[in-house]
Chains A and B, each alone.
Chain A
């Protein structure tokens, strides 16, 4: 498997590994994937309730190097974004940034799912809910 330098970097120096308190009302937790599939991502965001900005994000991943890199990158991108900006992150952005080969695209899809699940959990706790929309997963054109 030929890994891009960025995937290797995220594997050797993962960003934001850890956990935020699940019971904090400003923390949203997304847990996606399944052990049987070989991919499980837990992604958490801590939102500033006054500004709607994600102040902190943490992840833990059971999966291959590309899965670890995708979720690590996701936490990097989430910090400083508003909740709505976070929902606009597409799996194809992750594929491009990490130069993921076709066989690893599903890792980026799972990372996008994890972001959306974390935001949905946060909104549920705040009493506002996310609209169930059409499938937002893009296939890269390259």
Chain B
């Protein structure tokens, strides 16, 4: 008799993963954070007005989350559709609300809509990091040329004080 059905492959796999993690955590943390920091630096080199969401110090080594001002997240995803990333924008959520996690981290609604979450893994290479950073730089630049918010900001308008017409939306 047994009281239920246990996920035996899952249990064995999780145990093995924990063992590997303990063995490789230190070296993997160094490798991943180096790649992650390379991605961050390369993006900052190519673009201005990009903002990291959350602390860089108290952060998992393989994670990065950046808001690209004046460009909406889902339109960014469309431009890098050969890369697996996600966005905290309202348009990418079923509820049409921006990410409550980003809001809790202090991102305003507009920057929450402009965010991209990057997750690196054990097979991520330096070439892939450079490819993603360069492609995203091109896409952000193109979308900013199409953005009325970027245009207003370049004209010196303070977007936070503007009255927006939202009737019928």
Which A residues are closer than 8 A to B by beta carbons? Answer: 1, 3, 8, 11, 14, 17, 19, 31-42, 60-68, 103, 106, 109-110, 113, 117, 135, 137
Contact = CB atoms under 8 A, between A and B. Distances in A.
B90 interface: yes
A10 B36 CA distance: 33
A109 B167 CA distance: 11
A62 B89 contact: no
Interface stretch (B16-24, B116-124, B129-137, B147-155): B147-155
Contact of A40 (B91, B148, B167): B148
Contacts of B73: 38
B71 A62 contact: yes
B76 to A, nearest CB: 10
A137 B70 contact: no
Given A35-B164, A38-B91, A64-B74, A109 B148 contact: no
A42 B109 contact: no
A35 B110 contact: yes
Contacts of B96: 103, 106
Given A40-B149, A61-B147, A113 B167 contact: yes
B113 interface: yes
A89 B115 CA distance: 33
Nearest to A3: B78
A40 B164 contact: yes
B74 A34 contact: no
Interface in B60-93: 70-75, 78-79, 89-92
Nearest to B113: A38
Contacts of A8: 78
B95 to A, nearest CB: 10
Given A35-B109, A103-B94, A63 B165 contact: no
B101 interface: no
Contact of B75 (A42, A63, A135): A63
Nearest to B94: A103
A68 B169 contact: no
Interface string B136-168: 000000000111110100000001000011111
Contact of B91 (A14, A36, A61, A63): A63
A32 B159 CA distance: 14
Contacts of B109: 35-38
B169 A64 contact: no
8 contacts: A31-B164, A41-B148, A62-B71, A62-B72, A63-B72, A64-B89, A67-B72, A109-B168
A76 to B, nearest CB: 15
Given A34-B166, A117-B165, A62 B148 contact: yes
